């Protein structure tokens, strides 16, 4: 249908009855007002007015008949007559009475009253004549008509036709209209016909409104009973079809479309449970394909008529005809909506929906069980009809023009997509017809044809005559068939390209490529097959991808035989297509079905041969050929001193594959360092079935947690398969040659999961420890590097020590150590000094060495605490002949007590005799120092010679151990013993790392010598987690819960000989104590007690002063007989004070200055003491203060400071008067 006819299709009908042939004179003027425009319908008082901009009208002449009066309405198709007119003319009253009025009455009785349609009577007057009134009653024909058939007309009352309620009361109730055959001017004619058209609009709208209300009322009623009553269900569907048709008549297109689509979906649902008919539908039996109009609604496909016929005749409903009729109505409505749309984009949406529904409907019919030539021809004609819809083609042309002008984006992609789908349907039908004619399909080169077991089941050639002209021309011969097939394919590809269906283009391109390949047009086939195979392989169609690759490779050999790189890529892709990395069993679409073992092996050797001839390095994704699993367990080989891991490689090619090298690379797990550790195996082979377990070894050791970074498998020097772990996704497109217009990257296959391992030293291999030296001197920081060699001699050992601690400096001779040879099982201790104020230092040790001429590297990093576990302070007490030293020993950390095993205090210069004041054997000393309970050790120091000074020093040594280290040592030894029993000693250093997490009850251990672990359960759980993560499954059961096994109720008793490794020695250089002056003060009482209260006691205060401990004598080089010796001494002045206390009255010398030189001096004073209280009274205290040398040091010894005098009172009272 032409575009201009779309808006005028399916007009409503206005019937007219012209018994006096009066309509012919006014027909032209009357029809000039059609179609009607600007109708407004208010279907609900609460909703806005529905506007109908254009309503096409067709005038239908009707003649009353007895048949129309008596026929049941259910047997008639839907009547879209919305108004009825009767055109009359009369010259006098007699004619009116005798002829006109009887005919009007019969018309009303036959056509108007039964159909319940609004009506009007049109009186046609001759040109230029006024109404002639009757000479008897003085009334014109028009007046008489109004009297009989106007409002409350007499004849209407007789006929029982009440029309006064059917026209809106807002308008005049005119049912008799008057027109003239001719008018004096156009204005007069316009006025008359404006009134006539207005009345016609009201008639149409009122009829429409009445039908809408009636249908709505019936539908609501039937919905209540239709679920339980099948007859009501059919009646409901009928009434919904009637309402949809009413909406369609009045151009309420959206409402009509919604109803028809709902009806179609419901009918599809109702028919889904029925068995498909195998007979040809009646509607398809006699079709005129020369004038094919599938949207012409005849009784054969009219849904309402089909339901009415089935009910009246009690016959089955032709569901195919009903659905076809509904689809045709939906198709017409969508085209009308598209034509009325205000923009290209909206119009395109409607047309896209139409083509989509057409594609779905035709595909549904094509897939039905009915298989006949008539059905396939009809499908072909239907597809061709919708491909040539004028409106769709016009929209594509307009959109293309806009795109070329740069005005906006494409709006017709949906139209193009479903147009292409319809072309594919035509191509499918063409192929089906070609098969019946015996033509060979291009897809036979690609798809496996199903071969029937019984040869008689093969399709026979049918030489029938085809009614569709285009189809017949396409099947004249094989060439015509292939040309039509190619034409439809190319056309569909062009449409899919415009709507960006790239992968569909790849699929369709294969057919064109196969046609070219069949014709030996290799270059054209090569240009098409550039990326198609990749799509099929990635989507699981492995067989198809492999076959295409073979064709592709054959094309390259003919077109580009010298291009080794392209040959390599293609051969590799063909080899990869033999692999099913997903692990699925072989299916019918698997390329392996057509390749035996020898062919696979031949292809593998061909791949290796081509790769060896390459000039460049070729790397491809590993997961395309092998499935690799890296086991997260590290082990050692005592024979060569290497560490190794294991990988499982699955080979699904079904042949044994030789590999040049397998490399697995690990990097630091925390990404803080740039270390890289490759584990390698060379010259290995993969089994043709299942997994192959391969050991990979390394000569590098890093004491770090490592994560998997890269896996590489080298087939040859030039062909490598690798994958990066946790890397950004790469281009997954493995096509050999990329198309020049489009590239859609295919998703990357899953890579091997990330693996983390922890390298730990093995007791049997080379290893390094950093520890504190057994003996340290106070004020110096030193660490000891202990090198343990493995079971083989090592040569050219080079050790470098570095630190990452800020401010830490190693002494010049501590950074590099070299040794030519270290025997098997030997140990080497290296001590280096650290100059830093930090307590925690980071030490890095790097060792390079050789075993049997092969180079090894060992990198070790550890943190160490330089702080001491013990604190020591000393207090010196001077006496005339000796010094008493009191050493206080405590623990630095109050939560970690210290055990003191041995103390020694001596003078190496032989100037002092040092004796310990204790009854405990100094070799078996065992003291405990707690946080608030330090230990004390006393020594008596007696000078042997007077030749000493302040630079002399005494050596104090303390041998100690902290209790936490002792507990750890006991637990470590128990774990080592248990692992040794089970033959798993190699995991000792991995498991003993848990010791730092243990919490001990150190108080209980100090008392009972029993190690009690407070958090044994949680630490055992943590240890088991480490075991499950780092230890192979075969060894896990042997060492699981080893911590709980050595602890009985969380306790373990350790032998004391295990504590020797925990002992440490601290050497302290103690300067000889010096004192400038020592004063010896003593009260000498002449009389013996008891003494009488209040009576004086005469005493003498003697002060002996000397400078023996000043440390100056060794610097006095003059002999004692030198006359100048005394002159060189400086006098020192002191103030002596006897403190007046409450118990005494002191008389005599209470404060006195004394002077002494650098030697010795004795001063004495008389002091009288009067006791004030009775009892045992302490002697008064005496203090000394330097007068002229405040910086000097001195001490006062009050010999009898604690001596008491017994004072008694007389019997009589004693009174003192002041």
Burial (CB count <10 Å: 0-12, 13-18, 19+), residue 328: buried
User: Helix axis angle, 390-405 relative to 344-366, nearest 10°?
Assistant: 130
Q: In degrees rounded to 5, what are phi and psi of residue 417?
A: -65, -45
**pLDDT tens digits for range 1050-1098:** 788 766 555 667 788 999 989 888 888 888 899 898 888 889 988 898 8
Q: How many CB atoms lie within 10 A of CB 129?
A: 11
Look at residue 220 in the predicted model and tell me its pLDDT: 92
282 pLDDT band, cuts 50/70/90, is: confident
Is 784 a domain residue?
Answer: yes
Look at residue 1088 in the predicted model and tell me its pLDDT: 83
Interval 266-280 mean pLDDT: 68
**Residue 726 and residue 768 share a domain:** no
Q: In degrees rounded to 5, what are phi and psi of residue 433?
A: -65, -40
Look at residue 541 in the predicted model and tell me its pLDDT: 52
Look at residue 272 in the predicted model and tell me its pLDDT: 62
Average pLDDT score over the chain: 81
**Residue 874 and residue 853 share a domain:** no
What is the token pair recorded at 690?
Answer: 């299942």
Interval 737-754 mean pLDDT: 42
Domain end position, chosen among 691, 725, 758: 758
Instruction: Give strand pairing partners of 1155.
Output: 1133
DSSP secondary structure string for all residues of 630-669: E-S--EEETTTTEEEEEEEEE--SSS-EEEEEEEEEEEET
Is 696 a domain residue?
Answer: yes
Look at residue 855 in the predicted model and tell me its pLDDT: 94
Q: Are 493 and 528 in contact (CB under 8 A)?
A: no
Look at residue 438 in the predicted model and tell me its pLDDT: 84
Q: How many CB atoms lie within 10 A of CB 894?
A: 10
731 pLDDT band, cuts 50/70/90, is: very low
CATH at residue 1113:
2.60.40.10
**pLDDT tens digits for range 679-695:** 999 989 998 888 999 99
Least confident of 595-609, 1127-1141, 1183-1197: 1127-1141
**Coil, strand or helix: which one is 286?**
coil
Distance of alpha carbon 1047 from alpha carbon 980, whole angstroms: 17
**Residue 768 and residue 751 share a domain:** no
Distance of alpha carbon 180 from alpha carbon 196, whole angstroms: 12
Distance of alpha carbon 139 from alpha carbon 298, whole angstroms: 50
Is the preceding omega at residue 1090 within 30 degrees of 0, hence cis? yes
Closest Cα to residue 958, out of 910, 891, 1018? 891
**pLDDT tens digits for range 222-240:** 988 888 888 888 888 888 9
Interval 539-545 mean pLDDT: 57
Least confident of 475-489, 881-895, 1136-1150: 1136-1150
H or E element: which one contains 598? helix 597-612
What is the token pair recorded at 720?
Answer: 């490598």
**Coil, strand or helix: which one is 980?**
helix
57 pLDDT band, cuts 50/70/90, is: very high
Task: Give the CA-trace dihedral at 539, 542, 546, 549, to 10 degrees.
Answer: 10
Instruction: Give strand pairing partners of 723.
Output: 711
Q: Are 285 and 321 in contact (CB under 8 A)?
A: no
Is the preceding omega at residue 35 within 30 degrees of 0, hence cis? yes
Look at residue 448 in the predicted model and tell me its pLDDT: 38
pLDDT at 167 over 80: no
Distance of alpha carbon 415 from alpha carbon 356, whole angstroms: 8
Interval 72-83 mean pLDDT: 63
**Residue 1144 and residue 1056 share a domain:** no
Is 219 a domain residue?
Answer: no
Interval 660-684 mean pLDDT: 90
**CA-CA distances (angstroms) from residue 1162 to 16, 1118, 1148, 1151?**
163, 24, 19, 16
Look at residue 989 in the predicted model and tell me its pLDDT: 87
What is the token pair recorded at 1166?
Answer: 């008389």
**Residue 781 and residue 700 share a domain:** no
**pLDDT tens digits for range 990-1025:** 888 888 889 999 998 888 888 999 988 898 888 888
**Residue 497 and residue 359 share a domain:** yes
pLDDT at 312 over 90: no
Distance of alpha carbon 1182 from alpha carbon 1111, whole angstroms: 26
Domain end position, chosen among 1073, 1097, 1126: 1073
Is 1214 a domain residue?
Answer: no
Distance of alpha carbon 498 from alpha carbon 488, whole angstroms: 16
Interval 78-101 mean pLDDT: 88
Look at residue 164 in the predicted model and tell me its pLDDT: 45
What is the DSSP secondary structure assignment for residue 109, as one 8-state letter? I
Q: How many CB atoms lie within 10 A of CB 1099?
A: 22
Q: In degrees rounded to 5, what are phi and psi of residue 489?
A: -65, -45
**Residue 308 and residue 163 share a domain:** no
Tokens 């004394």, located at residue = 1154
Q: In degrees rounded to 5, what are phi and psi of residue 1069?
A: -90, 110
pLDDT at 70 over 90: no
**Residue 1194 and residue 1145 share a domain:** yes
Tell how far CA 1014 is from the center of its chain. Answer: 41
pLDDT at 270 over 80: no
Distance of alpha carbon 985 from alpha carbon 130, whole angstroms: 133
What is the DSSP secondary structure assignment for residue 755, as one 8-state letter? -
Q: What is the 3-state secondary structure (H, E, C) of 164-175?
A: CCCCCCCCCCCC
pLDDT at 365 over 70: yes
Pairing type for strands 775-777 and 1064-1071 reads parallel
Look at residue 588 in the predicted model and tell me its pLDDT: 44
Look at residue 714 in the predicted model and tell me its pLDDT: 92
Tell how far CA 556 is from the center of its chain. Answer: 42
Interval 95-101 mean pLDDT: 90
Q: Are 753 and 711 in contact (CB under 8 A)?
A: no
Tokens 């050596």, located at residue = 955
Is 721 a domain residue?
Answer: yes
Q: Are 1106 and 1157 in contact (CB under 8 A)?
A: no
Least confident of 162-176, 539-553, 835-849: 162-176
Higher pLDDT among residues 459 and 1032, named by residue: 1032
pLDDT at 172 over 60: no
Interval 551-570 mean pLDDT: 77
Instruction: Give strand pairing partners of 814.
Output: none
What is the token pair recorded at 444?
Answer: 């036979």
Closest Cα to residue 671, out of 726, 617, 714, 717? 726
261 pLDDT band, cuts 50/70/90, is: very high
**Residue 880 and residue 850 share a domain:** no
Tally of domains in the chain:
6
pLDDT at 966 over 70: yes
Q: Are 657 and 694 in contact (CB under 8 A)?
A: no
**Residue 835 and residue 774 share a domain:** yes
**Coil, strand or helix: which one is 750?**
coil
Is 676 a domain residue?
Answer: yes
Interval 371-385 mean pLDDT: 88
Distance of alpha carbon 248 from alpha carbon 336, whole angstroms: 10
Q: In degrees rounded to 5, what are phi and psi of residue 126?
A: -60, 160
Is 957 a domain residue?
Answer: yes
Look at residue 665 in the predicted model and tell me its pLDDT: 93
Look at residue 1129 in the predicted model and tell me its pLDDT: 53
**Residue 1090 and residue 998 share a domain:** no
Is 122 a domain residue?
Answer: yes
Give percent of the chain above pLDDT 90.
20
What is the token pair recorded at 659?
Answer: 């590999």
166 pLDDT band, cuts 50/70/90, is: very low
Q: What is the extent of the structural domain holding 896? A: 868-1073
Question: Any idea what the Cα angle at residue 1010 is, between residues 1007 and 1014, rounded to 5°?
Answer: 105
pLDDT at 450 over 80: no
67 pLDDT band, cuts 50/70/90, is: very low
Phi-psi group of 450: left, alpha or beta (phi > 0 → left; psi -120 to 50 → alpha; rest → beta): beta
pLDDT at 493 over 70: yes
Closest Cα to residue 848, out of 873, 827, 822? 822
Distance of alpha carbon 545 from alpha carbon 446, whole angstroms: 9
Domain end position, chosen among 1073, 1099, 1121: 1073
What is the token pair recorded at 575?
Answer: 């080899």
Cβ contacts of residue 942 below 8 Å, gap of 6+? 881, 882, 883, 912, 913, 914, 915
Q: What is the 3-state secondary structure (H, E, C) of 356-396?
A: HHHHHHHHHHHCCCCCCHHHHHHHHHHHHHHHCCHHHHHHH
**Residue 981 and residue 918 share a domain:** yes
**pLDDT tens digits for range 754-811:** 788 888 898 888 999 988 888 888 888 888 889 999 899 999 999 998 887 776 667 6
Interval 1182-1197 mean pLDDT: 83
What is the token pair recorded at 822?
Answer: 């270290």
């Amino acid at each position: 249908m032409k575009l201009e006819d779309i808006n005028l299709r399916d007009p409503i009908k206005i019937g007219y009855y012209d018994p006096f042939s009066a309509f012919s004179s006014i027909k032209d003027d009357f029809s000039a007002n059609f179609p009607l425009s600007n109708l407004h319908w208010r279907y609900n008082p609460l909703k806005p007015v529905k506007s109908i901009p254009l309503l096409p009208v067709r005038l239908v002449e009707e003649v009353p008949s007895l048949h129309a009066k008596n026929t049941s309405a259910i047997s008639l198709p839907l009547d879209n007559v919305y108004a009825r007119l009767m055109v009359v003319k009369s010259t006098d009253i007699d004619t009116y009475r005798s002829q006109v009025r009887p005919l009007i009455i019969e018309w009303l009785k036959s056509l108007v009253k039964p159909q319940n349609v609004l009506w009007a009577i049109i009186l046609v007057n001759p040109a230029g004549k006024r109404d002639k009134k009757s000479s008897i009653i003085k009334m014109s024909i028009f007046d008489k008509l109004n009297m009989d058939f106007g409002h409350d007309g007499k004849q209407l009352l007789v006929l029982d036709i009440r029309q006064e309620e059917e026209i809106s009361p807002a308008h005049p109730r005119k049912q008799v209209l008057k027109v003239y055959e001719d008018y004096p001017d156009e204005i007069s004619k316009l006025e008359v016909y404006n009134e006539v058209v207005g009345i016609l609009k009201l008639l149409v709208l009122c009829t429409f409104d009445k039908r809408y209300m009636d249908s709505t009322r019936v539908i609501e009623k039937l919905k209540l009973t239709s679920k339980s009553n099948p007859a009501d269900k059919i009646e409901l569907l009928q009434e919904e079809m009637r309402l949809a048709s009413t909406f369609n008549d009045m151009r309420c297109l959206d409402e009509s479309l919604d109803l028809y689509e709902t009806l179609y979906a419901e009918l599809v649902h109702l028919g889904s449970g029925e068995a498909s008919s195998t007979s040809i539908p009646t509607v398809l039996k006699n079709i005129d394909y020369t004038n094919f109009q599938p949207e012409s609604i005849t009784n054969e496909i009219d849904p309402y008529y089909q339901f009415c016929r089935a009910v009246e005749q009690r016959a089955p409903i032709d569901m195919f005809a009903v659905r076809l009729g509904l689809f045709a109505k939906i198709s017409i409505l969508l085209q009308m909506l598209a034509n009325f749309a205000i923009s290209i984009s909206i119009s395109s949406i409607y047309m896209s929906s139409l083509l989509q529904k057409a594609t779905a409907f035709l595909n549904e019919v094509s897939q039905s069980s009915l298989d006949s030539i008539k059905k396939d021809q009809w499908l072909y004609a239907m597809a061709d009809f919708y491909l040539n819809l004028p409106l769709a083609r016009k929209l594509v042309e307009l959109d293309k023009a806009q795109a070329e002008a740069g005005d906006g984006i494409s709006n017709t992609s949906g139209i193009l997509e479903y147009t292409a789908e319809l072309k594919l349907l035509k191509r499918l039908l063409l192929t089906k017809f070609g098969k019946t004619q015996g033509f060979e399909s291009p897809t036979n080169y690609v798809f496996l044809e199903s071969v029937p077991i019984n040869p008689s089941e093969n399709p026979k050639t049918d030489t029938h005559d085809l009614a569709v002209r285009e189809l017949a021309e396409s099947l004249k011969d094989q060439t015509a068939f292939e040309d039509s097939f190619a034409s439809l394919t190319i056309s569909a590809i062009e449409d899919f390209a415009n709507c960006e269906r790239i992968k569909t283009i790849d699929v369709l391109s294969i057919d064109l490529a196969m046609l070219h390949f069949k014709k030996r047009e290799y270059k054209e086939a090569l240009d098409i097959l550039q990326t198609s195979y990749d799509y099929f392989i990635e989507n699981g169609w492995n067989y198809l991808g492999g076959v295409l690759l073979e064709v592709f490779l054959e094309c390259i050999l003919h077109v580009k035989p010298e291009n080794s790189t392209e040959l390599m890529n293609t051969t590799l892709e063909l080899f990869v297509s033999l692999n099913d990395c997903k692990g699925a069993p072989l299916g019918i679409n698997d390329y392996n079905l057509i390749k035996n073992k020898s062919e696979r092996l031949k292809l593998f050797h061909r791949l290796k041969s081509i790769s060896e001839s390459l000039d460049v390095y070729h790397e491809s994704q590993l997961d395309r050929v092998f499935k690799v699993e890296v086991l997260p367990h590290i082990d050692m080989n005592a024979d060569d001193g290497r560490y190794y891991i294991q990988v499982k490689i699955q080979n699904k090619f079904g042949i044994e594959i030789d590999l040049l090298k397998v490399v697995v690379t690990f990097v630091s797990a925390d990404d803080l360092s740039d270390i890289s550790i490759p584990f390698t195996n060379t010259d290995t082979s993969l089994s043709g079935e299942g997994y192959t377990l391969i050991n990979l070894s390394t000569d590098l050791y890093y004491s770090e947690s490592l994560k998997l970074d890269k896996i590489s498998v080298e087939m040859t020097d030039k062909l490598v398969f690798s994958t990066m772990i946790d890397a950004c996704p790469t281009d997954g497109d493995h096509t050999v040659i990329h198309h020049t217009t489009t590239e859609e990257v295919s998703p990357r296959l899953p890579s091997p999961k990330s693996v983390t391992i922890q390298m730990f030293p093995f007791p049997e291999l080379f290893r390094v420890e950093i520890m504190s030296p057994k003996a340290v001197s106070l004020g110096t920081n030193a660490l000891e590097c202990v090198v343990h060699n493995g079971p083989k001699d090592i040569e050219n050992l080079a050790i470098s020590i570095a630190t990452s601690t800020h401010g830490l400096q190693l002494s010049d001779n501590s950074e590099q150590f070299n040794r030519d040879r270290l025997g098997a099982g030997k140990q080497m201790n290296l001590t280096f000094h650290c100059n830093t104020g930090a307590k925690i230092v980071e030490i890095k040790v790097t060792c390079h060495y050789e075993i049997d001429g092969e180079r090894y590297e060992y990198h070790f990093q550890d943190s160490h605490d330089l702080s001491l576990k013990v604190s020591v302070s000393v207090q010196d007490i001077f006496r005339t002949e000796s010094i008493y030293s009191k050493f206080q020993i405590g623990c630095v950390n109050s939560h970690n007590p210290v055990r003191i095993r041995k103390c020694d205090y001596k003078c190496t210069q032989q100037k002092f005799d040092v004796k310990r004041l204790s009854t405990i054997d100094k070799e078996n000393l065992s003291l405990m120092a707690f946080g608030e309970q330090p230990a004390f050790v006393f020594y008596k120091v007696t000078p042997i010679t007077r030749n000493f000074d302040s630079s002399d020093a005494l050596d104090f040594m303390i041998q100690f151990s902290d209790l936490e280290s002792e507990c750890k040592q006991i637990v470590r030894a128990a774990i080592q013993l248990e692992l040794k029993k089970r033959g798993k000693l190699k995991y000792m250093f991995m498991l003993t790392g848990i010791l730092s997490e243990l919490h001990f009850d150190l108080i209980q251990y100090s008392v009972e010598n029993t190690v009690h672990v407070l958090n044994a359960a949680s630490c055992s759980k943590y240890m088991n987690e480490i075991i499950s993560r780092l230890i192979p499954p075969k060894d896990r059961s042997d060492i699981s819960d080893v911590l709980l096994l050595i602890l009985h109720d969380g306790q373990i008793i350790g032998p004391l000989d295990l504590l020797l490794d925990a002992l440490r020695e601290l050497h302290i250089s103690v300067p000889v104590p010096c004192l400038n002056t020592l004063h010896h003060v003593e009260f000498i009482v002449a009389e013996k007690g008891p003494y009488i209260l209040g009576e004086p006691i005469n005493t003498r205060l003697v002060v002996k002063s000397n400078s023996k401990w000043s440390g100056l004598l060794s610097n006095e080089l003059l002999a004692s007989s030198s006359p100048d010796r005394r002159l060189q001494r400086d006098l020192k002045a002191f103030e002596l004070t006897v403190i007046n206390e409450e118990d005494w009255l002191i008389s005599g010398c209470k404060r006195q200055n004394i002077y002494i030189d650098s030697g010795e001096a004795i001063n004495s004073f008389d002091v009288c003491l009067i006791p004030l209280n009775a009892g045992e009274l302490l002697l008064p205290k005496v203090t000394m203060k330097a007068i002229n040398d405040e910086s000097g040091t001195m001490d006062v010894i009050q010999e009898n400071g604690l001596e008491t005098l017994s004072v008694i009172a007389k019997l009589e009272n004693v009174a003192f008067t002041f």
